[in-house]
């Protein structure tokens, strides 16, 4: 059985402001004070794990130990089926040191040019780590299609090239509240809430 979350404060173990904003909005109904790793000036650990779960846990554990508070981290990525799951774990790295996702999206389009299969999925693994080292992890996925060219300026990362199944707009065209209701992160978050908050 998962551990209940009863803390007053939670660190969002991320330096990605789009991700921090999305997670903070998802946490808003639970009256938990949230603070980001950036606000606490916490170091960003190297993501050396070989899975999304390992990287999420690594980031949450580093923030929990440094801040002495419970920490929630997300590791997520875009997995394109025709590319063998790439960029996958390296989704952020495809954007380079400057985090230029227009470059990363152009690389996806370039590599996908000769394939008919444009199917893809976003995956998110959330890791919640307490200062005593206890960890709970939750995974969410959403399937969709890569579109070329990119559309929309909302969201972040690969959102402008991903059309979720059952929809005609990219995540980059969704209003934030509508997107947050159906993302891979929302799916993982609902599992976390059901297990640890409700």
Catalytic residues: 75
List Cβ neighbours of 90 (8 Å cut-off, separation of 6 or more). 77
- Retrieve residue 56's tokens: 């999420």
CA-based radius of gyration for the chain:
16
Cα separation, 145 vs 125, whole angstroms: 20
Sheet with strand 9-12: strands edge to edge: 33-36, 9-12, 70-80, 119-129, 135-146, 162-164
User: Which of 7, 11, 61, 71 is closest to 36 using CA atoms?
Assistant: 11
As beta bridge partners, residue 62 has none
Q: Do 108 and 146 touch, CB atoms closer than 8 A?
A: yes
Q: Which two tokens stand for residue 194?
A: 């059901």
| Nearest CA among 108, 84, 114 for reference residue 94 | 108
CA angle 176/73/27 to nearest 5° reads 45
């Amino acid at each position: 059985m998962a551990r209940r979350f009863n803390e007053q404060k939670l660190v969002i173990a991320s330096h990605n402001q789009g991700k921090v904003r999305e997670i903070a909005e998802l946490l808003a109904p639970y009256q938990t004070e949230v603070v980001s790793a950036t606000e606490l000036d916490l170091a960003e650990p190297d993501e050396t794990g070989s899975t999304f779960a390992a990287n999420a846990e690594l980031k949450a554990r580093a923030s929990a130990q440094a801040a002495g508070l419970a920490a929630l981290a997300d590791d997520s990525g875009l997995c394109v089926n025709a590319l063998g799951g790439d960029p996958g774990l390296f989704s952020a790295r495809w954007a380079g040191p400057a985090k230029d996702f227009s470059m990363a999206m152009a690389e996806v389009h370039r590599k996908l040019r000769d394939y008919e299969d444009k199917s893809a999925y976003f995956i998110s693994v959330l890791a919640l780590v307490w200062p005593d080292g206890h960890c709970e992890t939750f995974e969410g996925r959403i399937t969709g299609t890569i579109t070329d060219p990119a559309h929309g300026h909302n969201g972040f990362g690969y959102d402008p090239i991903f059309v979720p199944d059952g929809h005609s707009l990219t995540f980059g065209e969704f209003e934030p509240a509508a997107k947050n209701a159906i993302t891979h992160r929302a799916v993982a978050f609902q599992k976390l809430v059901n297990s640890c908050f409700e």
